[in-house]
Amino acid sequence: MEQLKQAIMNLLQQYYTYRETPNFFRQEAKIVECLNDSVKDVHAQIPLSPELIYFYSHFKMNGPIRQDGHQLHRISIDIGSGNLYLSEPANLYRRQLGFRWVGSSAPYEENPMWNASWVVIADKDDDPIIVDTSQRNSPVLASYDASEVFSIADSLAQFFAAITVVLKVFHERFAGEIMDEETCEIEGEFLSVLTEELMNVLNNQEHVQHLIDYLYG
């Protein structure tokens, strides 16, 4: 799990370096390295791979608290085109609703089109990022809403490494300015640089293109 640990630590370094906390939060979100038992908060019907167990038991996540005292159970990561939201372990059951479990009210029904080993751990604009817990190294998939899924990383470690690259290119290479002022579209130069840098960690052109399309398409 050393590769996964290093990937998470690198992501956290970027996250804490560049995050900005809106003034409507009275307490910032936190992800800290520490042994904890948050895996016990995961609903019993949700499968966890060894990589997810390591992540949730070695890194503690706490979402931000708004000024009115309400706590959000997800971590927001600014990627320039919006936010990537990483769910706390206790919030995983709710994140599966509409994907694995469907229906307007409890008791929810299993979605026959959904693989029960897929676990939604994050999202962008409610489009899910999914870990396949049945496969070695926990490959990562994504989807637009509940449409067909596509692969974006061969492992959970690769996924975290890829998001670290996104943050580095966004903040360090482009100083957070990636929108064309005239067209209001993502700068082509940014996408070109990001594509090249992501190939160094994903080693798969199709995965790189899928991830860029998901984040910036």
Provide the residue range defining the domain that includes 72: 2-157
Is residue 194 a part of any domain in this protein?
no
User: Is 196 within a domain?
Assistant: no
178 inside domain = no
Structural domain contains residue 15: yes
Q: Which two tokens stand for residue 214?
A: 């998901």
Would you state the pLDDT for residue 74?
A: 95
Helix H or strand E encompassing 81 = none
> Is residue 169 in some structural domain?
no
Total structural domains in the chain? Answer: 1
How far is Cα of residue 184 from the mean position of the Cα atoms in its chain?
25
Q: What is d(CA 129, CA 152) in angstroms, rounded to the nearest whole number?
A: 9
Q: What is the CATH number of the domain that holds 23?
A: 3.40.1580
pLDDT (tens digit, 9 = 90+) per residue, 155-173? Answer: 999 999 999 999 999 999 9
pLDDT in tens, 23-74: 788 899 999 999 999 999 999 999 999 999 999 999 999 999 999 899 999 9
Q: What distance in Å separates the CA atoms of residue 34 and residue 62, rounded to the nearest whole number?
A: 12
- Amino acid making up residue 62: N
pTM of the model: 0.95
Q: For residue 97, tell me if it sits in a domain.
A: yes
Sequence-distant (≥ 6) Cβ neighbours of residue 72 within 8 angstroms: 29, 63, 64, 65, 66
In a domain, 184, yes or no: no
How many Cβ atoms are within 10 Å of 82's Cβ, its own excluded? 13
Whether 63 is covered by a domain: the verdict is yes
Band the pLDDT of 146: cuts 50, 70, 90. Answer: low
